[in-house]
A and B are shown apart, each in its own frame.
Chain A
Amino acid sequence: MSKVVVVRYSGNGTKKGLSRPAYGVLLTAGMRALSGEKEAKAAVRKYLPSGVIGIKTNCLVRTLNSTPTALAEALSDLLTQAGFDENDIVIWERTNRELKNAGYTLNAASFGGRCLGTDTNGVGYGSRFYSSGEVNSLVSRILTDMVDYNVNLPVLKDHSIAGLSAGMKNMYGAIHNPNKYHDNNCDPFCAHVNNLAPIKKKNRLIILDAVKVQYNGGPGYVSEYVTYYDGVLLSDDPVAVDRIGLEILEHLRKANSLPPLEKVGRQVKYLRSAQQIGLGVADMQQIDVAVLLVDKNGRQTVGELF
């Protein structure tokens, strides 16, 4: 069984996204529930024992619906509370332009919490090709050389080709040639991108932001198809967390009178392929889903997925 924790925030009446403290409450509760540890520090260390920690964002859609800076900052707070030095935290994306446009403050220096794109001078992609299936790619040196472990911090949204853009699709931002792997609804390419050795080895935790969800028209921003789910999903299984993300996405589509992704030619096939190559669990019967409802003070009750 794989475990996915869904933490929903009960106090977001304004529909404007969450603040850094609010995300902090969600992350703390979520990490405790996922790890089974009482203390947040122990919970974090269970997945990220030591070293330099990367935080891979998804900043495609400027400030409209990228990984919120508040979420990345809240995760950095959690890491420092767990004893990581801020010098050992690297927020990253494929380009500096995308980070800046999403509201992040770049810092490519060797001290302080770093925030940089793979296109930063002196970074780039490694010279070694990593292969899995038909995928042959160079991988960002941020992932291969700079960090010891990575937290994947994507945004839940519809994708015009893949059907689902969540954690696995976000790792397209770690390779040099993502445009080559979109045929056939990204299947099985998305699975194989995540099976590339550095990605598979270093991705230890996925925290999927589902506070604001683009349930149709993604991965760009189309305001008429945006809704608020007010939750984050946490797991160490990259397939299972996407599988639950897909359940939520399909539910939101149905609630807004849209057909299932399969009916519009965007069946999410790569999850099954990912399970077949042993990357994680796509079968709902093998996923233990825990849903928590948390208020701004951290009080928890059992919540519902929908």
Chain B
Amino acid sequence: MDRRMFLRCLGCGAAVATASQTELVPEFLGGLQNACAFDFTKELSSVQARYYKKLEGGGIECTLCPRHCIVTDLERGYCGVRENRDDVYHTLVYGLPCALNIDPIEKKPLFHFYPGTTALSVATAGCNVNCKCCQNWEISQSRPEQTDNLDLSPKALVDICTHRNVPTIAYTYSEPVIFYEYMYDTAELGHKKAVKSVMITGGYIEQKPLADLMLQLDAIKVDLKAIREDYYRNFVGGKLKPVLDRLVQIKKAGMWLEIVYLVIPTLNDTEAEFKELAQWIKTNLGTDTPLHFSRFHPQYLLKNLPATPKKTLETAHAISRAEGLEFVYLGNVAGHPAESTYCPACGQVLIERRGYRIYQNNLKGNHCSKCGREIPGLF
């Protein structure tokens, strides 16, 4: 499908957009096959990966994420979307998104990044961890052969944004680290067309690729899944330490950063953990780093647990504020006062939110309109 055809398809989705404000196409394109004339491709890409090294005696070592998968000929890494072919490592998902949608930036959530704007959300199949609570497991835990993929080059994505006046591309839903090359090239091209890029990630990436990538990004949201190593081992399939290291790296690089912590009953919801989390952020990232506590809903492999009680979220909020964090939010509790942004100095409501909608914006540039206090972020 060429770009013109794709944009025509987006046009046919515009009726949906009118009805639901922002949604142009379903997040997972599989449901769209009978509704719109999208062409899907069964072909996988064969673009050389940028972070790996060849091993003596054959095979490669992937150096993109902390897993450092050793991959021999015709095998794939843990992510399922990178394959060794004659000791050349390839990404199989370059230009092959399986999810595409225009979302409010608040949905990411990024609350201090051009509030009220939209982002073209893009994802491919695959992930480098396996969170038992994953809400997008149908794509994140699949291989690219198992998803319905569009053939959309970086240029096509940027063109969608410029034609639809979407200011930002969000690499999201699954784990953008695993489609690094596609994300990097799209972000680089986007900047040339004044389209911004944000990465919504678990932060499980090595130092060097992240440093290189940040040159092309405008903001990063990291899902910090817990503050305990054993949680990462048992429920994520990864390690906590590299994620903490990357958070510090992001902050030191001056990249805009927000953190989400999904609160799961019985697994990471003790007051001690909330306190430990807040103290770590305060010490290592600063009190001005926004922290979002998000409500868990049972799904994927954790259907046996209940949704997070609102009271638990409020406890997490109170502890974090008491520890000195200035911007603490609650997510997936539409209508809660803690969805809004308040001035840490005078308490004025700066941005009033309900769900993903903004009802008031009392910022003057980057400052509180009442007391003049500077508010961190990109507004």
Contact = CB atoms under 8 A, between A and B. Distances in A.
Contacts of B130: 177, 180
Contacts of A95: 145
Interface stretch (B67-75, B258-266, B356-364): B67-75
A217 interface: yes
Contacts of B70: 160-161
A119 B145 contact: yes
A272 to B, nearest CB: 23
Contacts of B76: 179
Interface residues of A, number: 23
B146 interface: yes
B79 A219 contact: no
B143 A60 contact: no
A228 interface: no
Given A176-B141, A179-B76, A219-B75, 5 more contacts: A60-B74, A160-B75, A177-B143, A180-B141, A217-B58
A103 interface: no
Interface string A118-151: 0100001100010000001000000000000000
A222 interface: yes
B286 interface: no
A119 B73 contact: no
Contact of B58 (A94, A136, A219, A222): A222
Given A160-B72, A161-B70, A220-B73, A179 B78 contact: yes
B142 interface: yes
A176 B75 contact: no
Contacts, number: 53
Contacts of A160: 59, 70, 72, 75
B74 A124 contact: no
Contact of B146 (A60, A61, A125, A220): A125
Contacts of B77: 179
Contacts of A60: 74
B322 interface: no
Interface in A206-239: 217-222
A97 to B, nearest CB: 8
B146 A176 contact: yes
B301 interface: yes
B237 interface: yes
Contact of B141 (A119, A177, A217, A219): A177
Interface in B133-154: 141-143, 145-146
Interface string A145-166: 0000000000000001100000
A182 interface: yes
20 contacts: A119-B42, A160-B59, A160-B72, A176-B146, A177-B141, A177-B143, A179-B80, A179-B143, A180-B78, A180-B80, A180-B130, A183-B78, A217-B58, A217-B72, A219-B72, A219-B75, A220-B72, A220-B73, A220-B74, A222-B58
Nearest to B73: A220
B26 to A, nearest CB: 18
A61 B130 CA distance: 28
Given A95-B145, A124-B146, A125-B146, A180 B74 contact: no
B74 A61 contact: yes
Given A160-B70, A161-B70, A177 B142 contact: yes
B75 A129 contact: no
Interface in A78-101: 94-95
A177 B80 contact: yes
Nearest to A158: B72
Interface in B148-200: none
A238 B340 CA distance: 59
Contacts of B143: 176-177, 179
A129 B301 contact: yes
Interface string A166-192: 000000000011011011000000000
A182 B301 contact: no
A288 B206 CA distance: 50
The CB with the most chain A CB atoms within 10 A, among B58, B73, B79, is that of B73
Nearest to B130: A180
A218 B74 CA distance: 10
A118 B368 CA distance: 57
Nearest to A60: B74
Nearest to B44: A97
The CB with the most chain B CB atoms within 10 A, among A125, A136, A222, is that of A136
CB-based closest 7 A-B pairs: A220-B73, A160-B72, A179-B80, A220-B74, A119-B145, A179-B76, A177-B141
B73 A221 contact: yes
A219 B142 contact: no
A180 B75 contact: no
The CB with the most chain A CB atoms within 10 A, among B72, B78, B237, B301, is that of B72
Nearest to A217: B58
Contacts of A220: 72-75
A219 B146 CA distance: 22
Given A176-B141, A217-B58, A119 B146 contact: yes
B320 to A, nearest CB: 33
A179 B79 contact: yes
Nearest to B126: A179
B62 to A, nearest CB: 12
A252 to B, nearest CB: 18
